[in-house]
């Protein structure tokens, strides 16, 4: 589920509640989500106090004085702060007890994971250190140069977290539509202007998605259990057969890079 805007929204909403709270207890219902194994995990996090949440790509980083709790939501993970009386979400697999409050990790498909590491291991962590730059942290020139090194299609490349960190299926389709670029267009065929424009629309889409609290297509909610509304501004994602907002042709659905892909065959030239 969560791509960069959703994880960023979760980060921001949790930042209102977590910093300064201590973990007093832990209830593990699905051990396979934890690294290291639950015994060590519990030993490490117990009695620690949360710091200011951070994010790298789609990974949420929760500092815990000296430690870091990494959370990857994959497709259906949720991390929700619960007041005394709020009910826990369905498919809750892990509960942190924080004084009167709780923090629930729920995950319908059970693909997500939580890992505790030492803060000093952050720089060398295999997942984090393999991430490419974020769309906000590289120049148009650098982006164009990186694109030129690959002959893969744009969709496949933009989904690759080693190339660029944070985009997923929704935001790649929405960005390519807005940039009028075909998802199968070889990356090394973009002109400097096309590359610069693509980076520009990626940033616009991500910023607007963050402003609107992310896309709640299926079951995404933020750290307070609330849905986002960027799905109302999707121009192609999930709109198979509907008229293209730019030219009126039918939006096509096709498997590209093994992912369901929505695009306008007329506006988005290959």
Partner DNA sequence: GACAACCTGACC
Partner DNA sequence: GGTCAGGTTGTC
| Catalytic residue from among 12, 74, 259, 266 | 259
Q: Which two tokens mark 102?
A: 């709780």
Q: Which of 44, 55, 58, 155 is catalytic?
A: 58
3 a catalytic residue: yes
Question: Are the C-beta atoms of residues 53 and 18 closer than 8 Å to each other?
Answer: yes
Report yes or no: 33 and 94 within 8 Å, Cβ to Cβ.
yes
For DNA, which residue of 101, 127, 148, 207 counts as binding (CB under 7 A)? 127
Count CA atoms within 13 Å of residue 98 on its CB side.
Answer: 21
Which residues within the stretch 72-91 sit at the binding site for DNA (CB under 7 A)? 72, 74-76, 91
Sign of the dihedral defined by the CA atoms of residues 176, 180, 185, 191, in that order: negative
Residue 219 contacts DNA per CB under 7 A: yes
Q: Is 259 a catalytic residue?
A: yes
Q: Does 11 bind DNA (CB under 7 A)?
A: no
The structure tokens 């906000």 sit at 136
Q: Counting every residue, how long is the chain?
A: 270
What is the greatest pairwise CA distance in the chain?
A: 59
Q: Is 169 in the site for DNA (CB under 7 A)?
A: yes
Which of residues 111, 132, 204, 250 is near DNA by CB under 7 A? 111
Question: Is residue 170 involved in binding DNA (CB under 7 A)?
Answer: yes
Please confirm, yes or no, whether 269 is among the known catalytic residues.
no
Q: Which helix H or strand E contains 11, and what residues bound it?
A: helix 4-15
* Catalytic residue list: 2-3, 58, 259
The site for DNA (CB under 7 A) is made up of 1-3, 6, 32, 57-58, 72, 74-76, 91, 108-111, 127, 152-153, 156, 159, 161, 168-170, 214-220, 257-260
């Amino acid at each position: 589920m969560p791509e960069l805007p959703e994880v960023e929204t979760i980060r921001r909403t949790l930042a209102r509640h977590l910093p300064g709270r201590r973990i007093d207890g832990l209830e593990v219902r699905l051990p396979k989500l934890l690294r290291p194994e639950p015994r060590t995990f519990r030993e490490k996090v117990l009695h620690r106090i949360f710091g200011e949440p951070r994010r790298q790509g789609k990974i949420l980083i929760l500092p815990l004085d000296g430690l870091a709790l990494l959370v990857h939501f994959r497709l259906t993970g949720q991390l929700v702060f619960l007041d005394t009386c709020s009910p826990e979400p369905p498919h809750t697999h892990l509960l942190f007890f924080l004084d009167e409050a709780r923090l629930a990790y729920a995950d319908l498909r059970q693909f997500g994971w939580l890992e505790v590491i030492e803060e000093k291991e952050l720089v060398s962590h295999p997942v984090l250190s393999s991430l490419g730059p974020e769309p906000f942290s590289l120049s148009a020139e650098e982006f164009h140069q990186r694109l030129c090194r690959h002959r893969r299609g744009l969709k496949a490349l933009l989904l690759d977290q080693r190339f660029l960190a944070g985009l997923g299926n929704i935001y790649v389709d929405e960005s390519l539509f807005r940039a009028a670029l075909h998802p199968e267009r070889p990356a090394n065929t973009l002109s400097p202007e096309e590359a610069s424009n693509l980076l520009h629309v990626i940033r616009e889409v991500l910023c607007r998605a963050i402003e609107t609290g992310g896309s709640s297509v299926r079951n995404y909610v933020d750290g307070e259990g609330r849905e986002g509304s960027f799905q109302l501004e999707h121009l192609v994602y999930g709109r198979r057969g509907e008229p293209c907002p730019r030219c009126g042709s039918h939006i096509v659905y096709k498997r590209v890079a093994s992912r369901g892909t929505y695009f306008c065959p007329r506006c988005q030239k290959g």
